[in-house]
Amino acid sequence: MSKNTVHTSNQPIVILGALDQEINAFHQELEGSQKHFWNGYEIWQGRLQGRDVVVTKSGVGKVFASMICQMLIDRYNPQALIFTGLAGGLSPKLEIGDIVVSRDCVQHDFTAAPLFPRYEIPSYDMKTTHRDFYADKHLKQLALGYIPQQGKIVEGRILTGDQFLTGSELEEYQHLTRELTGDAVDMESAAVAQVCTINQIPFVIIRTISDKANGQAARSFENFLPEATHNSVEVVKRIVANLRQTTQYHPRR
């Protein structure tokens, strides 16, 4: 694909979440829904806000997220991809229930040192590297236009690694805020962002803060899951309803 790849409205919009609990509410919103299966995954197709969408879960972690993301791109050639769900808060400015819309995503646990700087991901030919995977500007602006009933919605950097972080790991992972200046942390977003970037698919990540990496994650998850699900559905509905009929891929913001 060229750097000016154009995606049109006759291509579906893919909606992804890591867990069943994070995407089940979307099933109830779909019109004319049909369920398909791929390697045990349930894939729902239907219409949301008058637009064709595909909804499924990715599973937890970077490998599952990358696998299902690439499969959906190959199978449906989407106009755009939206990943939504919960995340841990890193910024002291964020409270539980606040929403973070990705400016960019970084894999905080990737290192190919000393061949490349820490966090830098070499391309397949080892000639270039990526660290920051930027969300699509139009999708990001649509998401930031949502006004939550409680809390706030902000643009930020989402860090991703194959660890579920709590208070006991804060000392070991201080580089997440001091070096990478992360606002939220999860286990899937940067992997999805990398796959979309390579395939030139416009994307955005929407995460509701469920805990502040302070050891109360499990309790916070149960308490805030309904609120987070509501946030996800409403932000995604706003994006889908207002997305341009054509979107153009831009490699960097």
What's the sign of the alpha-carbon dihedral 34, 36, 42, 46?
A: negative
pLDDT at position 222, please?
A: 64
By mean pLDDT, which of 88-92, 175-179, 180-184, 192-196 is the weakest? 175-179
Question: How many C-alpha atoms does 121 have within 13 Å on its Cβ side?
Answer: 18
d(CA 51, CA 241): 7
Q: What is the pLDDT of residue 67?
A: 97
Q: Which residue has the higher pLDDT, 247 or 57?
A: 57
Average pLDDT over residues 125-151: 89
| The pLDDT of residue 170 is above 70 | no
Tell me the two tokens of residue 106: 């970084």
Q: Which of 183, 211, 222, 227 is catalytic?
A: 211
Q: Is 2 a residue whose pLDDT tops 70?
A: no
Active-site annotation holds for 211: yes
Per mean pLDDT, which range of 37-41, 123-127, 201-205, 242-246 is the poorest?
123-127
Identity of residue 150? Q
Query: Are 215 and 167 in contact, with CB atoms under 8 Å apart?
Result: yes
pLDDT digits 0-9 by tens, 97-116: 899 999 999 998 878 778 87
What percentage of the chain has pLDDT greater than the value 90? 51
Q: Is position 22 annotated as part of the catalytic site?
A: yes
Kindly report which listed range (107-111, 133-137, 167-171, 241-245) carries the lowest average pLDDT score: 167-171
Q: Across residues 30-40, what is the average pLDDT?
A: 92
Q: How far apart are CA 191 and CA 188, in angstroms?
A: 6
The β-bridge partners of 133 are 105
pLDDT of residue 1: 46
Percentage above 70 pLDDT, the chain = 88
pLDDT exceeds 80 at position 58: yes
For 208-236, write each residue's pLDDT tens digit. Answer: 988 775 555 555 556 667 777 788 889 99
Reading the block at residue 30, the tokens are: 């779909």
The pLDDT assigned to 118 comes to: 82
pLDDT-based confidence at residue 24 (cuts at 50, 70, 90):
confident
pLDDT value at position 156? 96
What is the reported pTM?
A: 0.89
- Phi/psi zone of residue 250: left (φ > 0), alpha (ψ -120 to 50 degrees), beta? beta
250 contacts: CB under 8 Å, gap ≥ 6: 3, 136, 137, 202
- The catalytically annotated residue of 22, 52, 104, 188 is 22
- 3-state SS, residue 80: strand
All domains of the chain in start order, with CATH? 9-244 (3.40.50.1580)
Kindly state the average pLDDT of the residues 132-139. 95
133 vs 188: CA distance, rounded Å: 13
Gyration radius (Cα) of the chain, Å: 17
pLDDT tens digit sequence for 186-195: 999 999 999 9
pLDDT at res. 71: 97
Average pLDDT of the residues of the chain = 86
